[in-house]
Amino acid sequence: DSGVTQTPKHLITATGQRVTLRCSPRSGDLSVYWYQQSLDQGLQFLIQYYNGEERAKGNILERFSAQQFPDLHSELNLSSLELGDSALYFCASSVQVGGPNEKLFFGSGTQLSVL
């Protein structure tokens, strides 16, 4: 058990809808990262937050947004969903903002299916 909690584990929804994925980092970790994993694209970095502030952005679509709350949990909001958004979404956490000694602890992921 990595200590990172993601909910829900599975989510089935329709095109055009909006969903929210939730992540609680390991106790004491200040950084949260969101990744998308699909069969053809591998693990793609979306966005990183550190202590409530956005720190780095990857290939995150404009339809997607995220935030990190004062209690350090994070939410990833996906809107106007398309079939191609179906994927496994992972949250990861690390102690600090990232650096040579930083390793990531991943949650078990949320499997999103858009029908």
Partner 1 sequence: SQKIEQNSEALNIQEGKTATLTCNYTNYSPAYLQWYRQDPGRGPVFLLLIRENEKEKRKERLKVTFDTTLKQSLFHITASQPADSATYLCALAQTGANNLFFGTGTRLTVIP
By the criterion CB under 8 A, which residues form the site for partner 1?
A: 2, 4, 31, 33, 35, 42-45, 48, 50, 55-56, 58, 90, 92, 97-109
Edge-to-edge strands, sheet with 5-7: 5-7, 19-24, 74-78, 64-68
Least distance (Å) between residue 12 CB and partner 1: 16
**Residue with smaller CB distance to partner 1, 15 or 102:** 102
Least distance (Å) between residue 16 CB and partner 1: 28
Among 54, 41, 47, 25, smallest CA distance to 85 is for 41
Q: Do 73 and 86 form a contact (C-beta atoms < 8 A)?
A: no
**CA-CA distance, 75 to 28, in Å (whole number)?**
18
**Residue with smaller CB distance to partner 1, 44 or 79:** 44
**Residue with smaller CB distance to partner 1, 16 or 54:** 54
